[in-house]
Structures are given as structure tokens and as C-alpha cells.
């Protein structure tokens, strides 16, 4: 097997990171798609492919602090947990009752709903110090 040149390898990581970032952003809107794993994958790919894109992702005003807090094990703010779980429950319940009659799809949505809810609740809640 021929080793991949460094420049090509970096480009593959950048493309993979961009695809993961797009899927992560779509996951913010569609709760059935997991946001956190895709954003973390994007960060890892950018870290290996482009330090500039990695830094830009971590400084991004929408997802930067979320990714940094998650990577550093700090957790999520209570506000973010409430927002995430509210959006998750609303969209999955609407999809379950308005968009499908299939019992199999409803069961899958219920499993996703419970799994993601448990995951979010198990993430450490950030505590902000009052100044």
C-alpha cells in the first residue's frame, strides 16, 4: 500500500471535517441527527488538516464554546440543556404524531429521544460564578 502524501492527507481531513461540520449544523435543526459527534469529528479533522480551520471552529460564536467546553470536559450550560432538550422533544413528538403512521419509525424515534435525552442529562452542567 502506497502512503498518502501529506498535502493530500490534509485535504482529505479538511473535506471530511467540512462534511462533519455541515452534518453537525443540520443536526442542530434536525434532532434525529446527532450534533455533538459531528462537531467533535469536524474539530478532530480540522485539527489534523488545517490549524486555521480548527482555530476558526473553536472561536466560532455559535458552536465554538460548546465544542471547547465538551472537549475540555466542562459540560453544557443549563440554558443550553433546556434549549436542546426542548427542541429535541418538540421536533421528535411532532414528527412522531404528524409525519408518520409507521410503528417501526415511531419506535426508532422514541429510542433516539430517550437515548439523546439521557446523554444530555448525563453531561456535566456548567456552573457560572457570579461576580
The least confident of 13-17, 24-28, 68-72, 126-130 is 126-130
| Cβ atoms 126, 78 nearer than 8 A | yes
Single pTM value for the model: 0.67
Q: Looking at residues 6-11, what average pLDDT do you find?
A: 92
Query: What three-state secondary structure class fits 11?
Result: helix
- Which pLDDT value is given to residue 88? 84
**pLDDT tops 70 at residue 2:** no
pLDDT in tens, 32-58: 777 888 898 999 999 999 999 999 999
- Which pLDDT value is given to residue 1? 64
Alpha carbon 85 to chain centroid, angstroms = 13
**pLDDT tops 70 at residue 106:** yes
- Which pLDDT value is given to residue 44? 93
Strand partners, 125: 76
Alpha carbon 52 to chain centroid, angstroms = 20
Helix %, strand %, coil % of the chain (to 5): 75, 0, 25
In the chain, DSSP assigns E strands to: none
From residue 23, how far is each of 53, 106, 113, 129 by CA, in Å?
A: 17, 23, 18, 33
Amino acid at each position: 500500500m502506497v502512503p498518502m502524501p501529506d498535502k493530500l492527507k490534509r485535504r482529505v481531513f479538511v473535506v471530511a471535517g467540512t462534511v462533519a461540520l455541515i452534518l453537525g449544523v443540520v443536526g442542530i435543526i434536525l434532532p434525529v441527527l446527532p450534533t455533538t459527534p459531528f462537531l467533535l469529528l469536524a474539530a478532530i479533522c480540522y485539527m489534523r488538516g488545517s490549524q486555521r480551520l480548527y482555530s476558526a471552529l473553536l472561536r466560532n460564536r455559535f458552536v465554538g464554546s460548546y465544542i471547547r467546553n465538551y472537549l475540555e470536559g466542562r459540560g453544557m450550560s443549563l440554558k443550553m440543556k433546556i434549549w436542546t432538550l426542548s427542541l429535541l422533544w418538540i421536533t421528535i413528538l411532532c414528527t412522531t404524531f404528524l409525519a408518520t403512521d409507521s410503528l417501526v419509525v415511531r419506535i426508532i424515534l422514541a429510542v433516539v429521544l430517550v437515548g439523546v435525552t439521557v446523554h444530555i442529562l448525563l453531561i456535566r452542567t456548567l456552573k457560572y460564578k457570579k461576580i
